C-alpha cells in the first residue's frame, strides 16, 4: 500500500513538473524588462558634463531597484560624435568620452554580480567617415575599395557632375557626397559623416559579424541593431547604375526625406536575409558559450508585415525582438480606446506562432511619453507597457516621468535638427528627449559634478527627480516599481491576454492562466467619468475583484474590493484588479 502511494505521488509529481515546465518554459528575454540607457545623459562620473561608462557602473543598483533584467546602451564606441556615437570610427574600441576598455570590463563584471544583463548597440548600416576602413576605401586600397558604395556620378549636358541618383538622406539633402581624393560620390543614408557600408561585399558582412563575436565573447547578452531597413540598397544594374526613386507629391520640399518613396533604399529583401544571418551568429555563440541565449533587438520603422518577417519563418529564425513601434509611432494624445486596442491587436494578431511580443513606448529618437501623450497619462502608459505580454522596453527617465526640454535653435546639437532650419528644427531635433537624467534636486540634478551639461537640464528637476520620487507613495517611480513586482506573477508572465475597448474611453486588458488569479487592467484614457462592467465582457470573473494597483488619480485603495459588474473610473485613471 505504502509503495502504491509513493508511486502515485511520484507520477503526480512528474505530471505537475512537466505541465509547469510547459507554461514557464521561456528563455530569460521573453518576459524581460529592458531599459535603454543613453550613456551621454545617464550619469557623468568625471565632471565633463557628458555621461560615461563609470557613471553607468555606479548606478547599476538603481536598475536592480526598478526590476530591470537587461539594459541596452546607445553606442559607446570610438566616434567623432557627428551623430552622437551612431557614427562609429572603431567598432571594438570605447570612445574616451565614455571611458576605457577597462571601464567597460568593470561594467561587465559589476553587472554580472548585480544580475543585470548588458546589451550593446550594433550599427551595421554605416561607419564614421573617420573609420580606418573608409579612409582606406577613399585611398582605393585594394582590400577596402569596395567596403563602401561609390559612384563617379553623372555628367549633365552642360558638363556639370551630379550625383548618380536623386536619393535623399534621412537627415536631408542628397544621399551622395563627393569625395575629392577618390573622385567619386559615396552613399550615406544618414549624415555625410556616416558612409554606408557595401553589404554586397562578403568581406563587409564577415567583418561585421566579427564585431558581434567580439562583444559577445566579452560577455554582453546581445545587441540592439540600428537602422536595419537601411542596410541594403537595390543592387546596381550591369552598368553599375541605380534607378531614381519616385516622388511623394504631398511633400514639396525636395531636400526632405519624405519627398521620395524609398522603394530602392529601404526594406530590400536582402536585408531580411542579413538579419537571419546575424541571428545565426547569435545561435553559434549560444552554442560556443553555453549559459543563456544571446539576443538581437532590431530597430526598424517599417510596415508591420515586413516587421513580422524579421521574426523569421518556419525554417529560419530572425530577431528575437523586432522592436514594436506600433504604439510609439501611432498613438496620439487624441487617440481613443479603440485606437489603443487596434494598435495592440495589430501586433498580437500578426505575430507568427511561437514568437514573443514586445512593447516600446519611448527612445532617444522620440518625444517623451509625457510630452507626446500628456503628463497625466504617464502612469497609464507604464501600466499598459508592463501588463501586456512579452518583453517591455523603457527609455531612461520614463519611469520617473521626465518630459521633453525645449531647446533653442542656437543650442541645438542633434544633426537631424541642425541640418534643418530655425523654422523646422523643433519638429526634427531629437535633443529634447535626450537631456540628463534627473537624479536629485542638488547640483546639476545629481547628473554631474561639473558646471556644464552637454544638453540643458529640465527646469523641473528640483521637483521631478528620482530621490524625491522614492519618498512619494504614488510617484511615477513607485507605480513603476509596483508594476515590476506584478510582472513576476505567473499570469502576467506566462498567461493569456485579452485586449478590448469597453467603450470609446476605456481600454481593458485581461491576463489569465489556469490555476492563477486573473488580472484586469483598466485604463480610462480621457477625462470623462466612466462606469464599466468587466463581468459582462470577460468570462470567468469572480463576483468581486480586489484592487491590486491604484494611482494618484484613484479614490479607491489597494486592497479595496468591488463588484466585478460595476467599476467606476475617474478621469485618466488606470487601475489593476484581480479575482479573489
Ligand atoms: C537609428 C538611431 C538614431 C541614429 C540613426 C543613424 O535610427 O536610433 O539615433 O541617428 O539610426 O544611425
Ligand atoms: Mg564624462
pLDDT tens, position by position, 343-353? 999 999 999 99
Q: What ligand is nearest to the CA atom of residue 58? A: 2
Which residues surround ligand 1 with Cβ inside 6 Å?
A: 83, 86, 123, 190, 226-227, 299, 364-365
Ligand 1: which residue has its CA nearest to atom 3?
A: 365
Position in ligand 1 atom list of the atom nearest CA 83: 10
| CA dist., res. 37 & res. 98, Å (int) | 13
Reported as a single tens digit per residue, the pLDDT across 508-556 is 999 999 999 999 999 999 999 999 999 999 999 999 999 999 999 999 9
Q: Check pLDDT > 80 for residue 444.
A: yes
Distance from residue 121's CA to the centre of ligand 1 (Å):
10
Position in ligand 1 atom list of the atom nearest CA 415: 10
Q: Check pLDDT > 50 for residue 19.
A: no
Count of beta carbons in the 10 Å neighbourhood of residue 76? 26
Q: Is residue 21 part of a domain?
A: no
For residue 460, the enclosing domain spans 27-125+205-235+267-482
Final residue of a structural domain among 457, 482, 507: 482
At residue 1 the predicted structure's pLDDT band, cuts being 50, 70 and 90, is very low
pLDDT score of 244: 98
CATH number (domain holding residue 73) = 3.20.20.80
| CA dist., res. 283 & res. 501, Å (int) | 40
Q: State whether 282 and 222 are in the same domain.
A: yes
pLDDT score of 3: 56
Pocket test for ligand 1, best of 38, 74, 76, 83 (most atoms within 8 A of CB): 83
Q: State whether 85 and 64 are in the same domain.
A: yes
| CA dist., res. 576 & res. 578, Å (int) | 7
Final residue of a structural domain among 430, 453, 482: 482
Reported as a single tens digit per residue, the pLDDT across 35-86 is 999 999 999 999 999 999 999 999 999 999 999 999 999 999 999 999 999 9
Position in ligand 1 atom list of the atom nearest CA 171: 10
Q: State whether 511 and 454 are in the same domain.
A: no
Ligand 1: which residue has its CA nearest to atom 9?
A: 365
pLDDT score of 14: 44
Q: State whether 180 and 297 are in the same domain.
A: no
Q: State whether 257 and 172 are in the same domain.
A: yes
Q: State whether 110 and 132 are in the same domain.
A: no
Pocket test for ligand 1, best of 187, 365, 428 (most atoms within 8 A of CB): 365
Q: Is residue 17 part of a domain?
A: no
For 522-567, the three-class secondary structure string (H helix, E strand, C coil) is EEECCCCCEEECHHHHCCCCCCEEEEEECCCCCCCCCCCEEECCCE
| CA dist., res. 404 & res. 396, Å (int) | 12
| CA dist., res. 508 & res. 425, Å (int) | 38
pLDDT score of 185: 98
pLDDT score of 492: 98
Reported as a single tens digit per residue, the pLDDT across 116-175 is 999 999 999 999 999 999 999 999 999 999 999 999 999 999 999 999 999 999 999 999
Q: What ligand is nearest to the CA atom of residue 44? A: 2
Q: State whether 62 and 135 are in the same domain.
A: no
Backbone angles phi, psi at 197, to 5 degrees: -75, 155
- Percent of the chain scoring above 70 in pLDDT: 96
Distance from residue 449's CA to the centre of ligand 2 (Å):
10
Point out which residues pair with 312 in neighbouring strands.
317
Reported as a single tens digit per residue, the pLDDT across 258-310 is 999 999 999 999 999 999 999 999 999 999 999 999 999 999 999 999 999 99
Q: State whether 209 and 118 are in the same domain.
A: yes
User: Which residues 6+ apart lie within 8 Å of 450 measured at CB?
Assistant: 44, 47, 48, 49, 444
At residue 8 the predicted structure's pLDDT band, cuts being 50, 70 and 90, is low
Ligand 1: which residue has its CA nearest to atom 4?
A: 86
| CA dist., res. 575 & res. 577, Å (int) | 7
CA dihedral 158, 160, 164, 168 (to 10 degrees): -110
Q: What ligand is nearest to the CA atom of residue 96? A: 2
Q: What ligand is nearest to the CA atom of residue 360? A: 1
pLDDT score of 22: 61
Q: Check pLDDT > 90 for residue 365.
A: yes
Point out which residues pair with 196 in neighbouring strands.
126
Pocket test for ligand 1, best of 175, 190, 228 (most atoms within 8 A of CB): 190
Q: Check pLDDT > 50 for residue 15.
A: no
Cell of 62: 538603481
User: What is the pLDDT of the chain when averaged over all its residues?
Assistant: 96
At residue 24 the predicted structure's pLDDT band, cuts being 50, 70 and 90, is confident
Q: Check pLDDT > 50 for residue 471.
A: yes
pLDDT score of 25: 84
Q: State whether 242 and 320 are in the same domain.
A: no
Helix (H, G, I), strand (E, B) or coil at 155: strand
- DSSP-H helix ranges across 412-459: 415-418, 425-428
**For range 494-506, the mean pLDDT:** 98
Q: Is residue 18 part of a domain?
A: no
CATH number (domain holding residue 523) = 2.60.40.1180
- Taking alpha carbons only, the member of 383, 316, 312 closest to residue 351 is 312
CB 332 within 8 A of CB 365: no
User: Which residues 6+ apart lie within 8 Å of 227 measured at CB?
Assistant: 86, 123, 124, 125, 126, 189, 190, 299
Distance from residue 133's CA to the centre of ligand 2 (Å):
28
Q: State whether 517 and 458 are in the same domain.
A: no
Position in ligand 1 atom list of the atom nearest CA 189: 6
pLDDT score of 4: 53
Which residues belong to the active site?
Answer: 226, 299
Ligand 1: which residue has its CA nearest to atom 5?
A: 227
Backbone angles phi, psi at 211, to 5 degrees: -60, -45
Q: State whether 250 and 299 are in the same domain.
A: no
- Which residue carries 500578426 as its cell? 350
Q: Is residue 376 part of a domain?
A: yes
Pairing of strands 295-298, 321-322: parallel
Distance from residue 41's CA to the centre of ligand 2 (Å):
9
Reported as a single tens digit per residue, the pLDDT across 174-211 is 999 999 999 999 999 999 999 999 999 999 999 999 99
Element (H or E) spanning 121, and its range? strand 117-122
Distance from residue 363's CA to the centre of ligand 2 (Å):
21
Q: Check pLDDT > 60 for residue 2.
A: no
Q: Is residue 473 part of a domain?
A: yes
Q: Is residue 322 part of a domain?
A: yes
| CA dist., res. 419 & res. 498, Å (int) | 45
Q: Check pLDDT > 60 for residue 252.
A: yes
Say how many domains are in the chain. 3
Q: State whether 94 and 164 are in the same domain.
A: no
CATH number (domain holding residue 148) = 3.90.400.10
Q: Is residue 15 part of a domain?
A: no
Distance from residue 456's CA to the centre of ligand 1 (Å):
21
Q: Check pLDDT > 50 for residue 497.
A: yes
CA 364 vs CA 35, 91, 367, 481: distances in Å: 12, 21, 8, 22
Whether the CA torsion 53, 54, 60, 63 is positive or negative: it is: negative
| CA dist., res. 13 & res. 24, Å (int) | 16
Q: Is residue 489 part of a domain?
A: no
Amino acid at each position: 500500500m505504502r509503495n502504491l502511494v509513493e508511486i502515485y505521488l511520484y507520477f503526480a509529481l512528474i505530471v505537475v513538473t512537466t505541465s509547469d515546465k510547459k507554461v514557464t518554459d521561456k528563455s530569460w528575454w521573453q518576459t524581460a524588462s529592458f531599459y535603454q540607457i543613453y550613456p551621454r545623459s545617464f550619469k557623468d562620473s568625471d565632471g565633463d558634463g557628458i555621461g560615461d561608462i563609470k557613471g553607468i557602473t555606479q548606478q547599476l543598483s538603481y536598475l536592480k531597484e526598478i526590476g530591470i533584467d537587461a539594459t541596452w546602451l546607445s553606442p559607446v564606441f570610438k566616434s567623432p560624435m557627428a551623430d552622437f556615437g551612431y557614427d562609429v570610427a572603431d567598432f571594438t574600441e570605447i570612445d574616451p568620452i565614455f571611458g576605457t576598455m577597462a571601464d567597460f570590463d568593470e561594467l561587465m563584471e559589476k553587472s554580472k554580480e548585480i544580475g543585470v544583463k548588458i546589451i550593446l548597440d550594433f550599427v551595421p548600416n554605416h561607419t564614421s567617415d573617420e573609420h580606418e576602413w573608409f579612409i582606406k576605401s577613399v585611398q582605393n586600397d585594394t582590400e577596402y575599395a569596395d567596403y563602401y558604395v561609390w559612384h563617379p556620378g553623372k555628367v549633365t549636358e552642360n558638363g556639370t557632375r551630379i550625383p548618380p541618383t536623386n536619393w535623399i538622406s534621412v537627415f536631408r539633402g542628397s544621399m551622395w557626397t563627393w569625395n575629392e581624393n577618390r573622385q567619386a560620390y559615396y552613399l550615406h543614408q544618414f549624415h555625410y559623416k556616416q558612409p554606408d557600408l557595401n553589404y554586397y561585399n562578403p568581406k563587409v558582412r564577415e567583418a561585421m559579424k566579427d564585431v558581434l563575436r567580439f562583444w559577445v565573447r566579452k560577455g554582453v547578452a546581445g545587441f540592439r541593431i540600428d537602422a536595419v531597413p537601411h542596410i541594403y540598397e537595390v543592387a546596381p544594374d550591369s552598368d553599375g547604375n541605380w534607378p531614381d526613386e519616385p516622388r511623394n507629391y504631398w511633400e514639396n520640399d525636395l531636400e526632405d526625406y519624405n519627398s521620395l518613396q524609398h522603394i530602392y533604399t529601404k526594406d530590400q529583401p536582402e536585408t531580411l536575409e542579413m538579419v537571419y544571418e546575424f541571428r545565426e551568429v547569435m545561435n553559434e555563440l549560444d552554442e560556443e558559450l553555453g549559459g543563456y541565449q544571446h539576443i538581437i533587438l532590431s530597430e526598424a520603422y517599417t510596415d508591420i508585415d515586413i516587421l513580422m518577417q524579421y521574426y523569421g519563418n518556419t525554417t529560419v529564425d530572425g530577431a528575437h525582438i523586432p522592436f514594436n513601434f506600433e504604439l510609439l509611432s501611432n498613438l496620439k494624445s487624441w487617440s481613443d480606446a479603440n485606437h489603443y486596442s487596434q494598435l495592440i491587436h495589430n501586433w498580437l494578431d500578426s505575430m507568427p506562432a511561437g514568437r514573443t511580443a514586445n512593447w516600446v513606448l519611448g527612445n532617444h529618437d522620440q518625444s517623451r511619453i509625457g510630452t507626446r501623450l500628456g503628463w497625466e497619462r504617464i502612469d497609464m502608459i507604464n501600466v499598459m507597457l508592463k501588463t501586456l505580454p512579452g518583453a517591455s522596453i523603457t527609455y531612461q527617465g520614463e519611469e520617473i516621468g521626465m518630459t521633453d526640454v525645449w531647446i533653442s535653435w542656437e543650442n541645438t546639437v542633434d544633426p537631424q535638427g541642425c541640418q534643418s532650419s530655425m523654422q523646422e528644427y523643433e519638429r526634427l531635433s531629437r535633443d529634447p528627449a535626450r537631456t540628463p537624467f534627473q537624479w536629485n534636486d542638488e547640483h546639476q540634478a545629481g547628473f554631474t559634478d561639473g558646471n556644464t551639461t552637454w544638453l540643458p537640464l529640465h527646469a523641473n528637476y528640483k521637483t521631478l527627480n528620482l530621490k524625491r520620487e522614492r519618498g512619494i507613495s504614488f510617484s511615477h517611480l513607485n507605480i513603476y516599481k509596483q508594476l515590476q513586482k506584478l510582472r513576476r506573477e505567473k499570469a502576467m508572465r506566462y498567461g493569456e491576454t485579452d485586449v478590448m475597448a469597453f467603450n470609446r474611453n476605456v481600454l481593458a486588458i485581461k491576463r489569465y492562466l489556469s490555476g492563477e488569479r486573473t488580472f484586469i487592467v483598466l485604463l480610462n484614457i480621457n477625462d470623462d467619468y466612466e462606469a464599466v462592467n468587466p463581468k459582462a465582457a470577460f468570462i470567468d470573473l469572480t463576483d468581486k475583484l480586489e484592487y491590486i494597483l491604484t494611482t494618484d488619480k484613484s479614490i479607491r485603495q489597494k486592497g479595496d474590493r468591488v463588484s466585478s459588474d460595476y467599476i467606476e473610473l475617474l478621469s485618466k485613471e488606470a487601475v489593476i484588479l484581480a479575482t479573489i
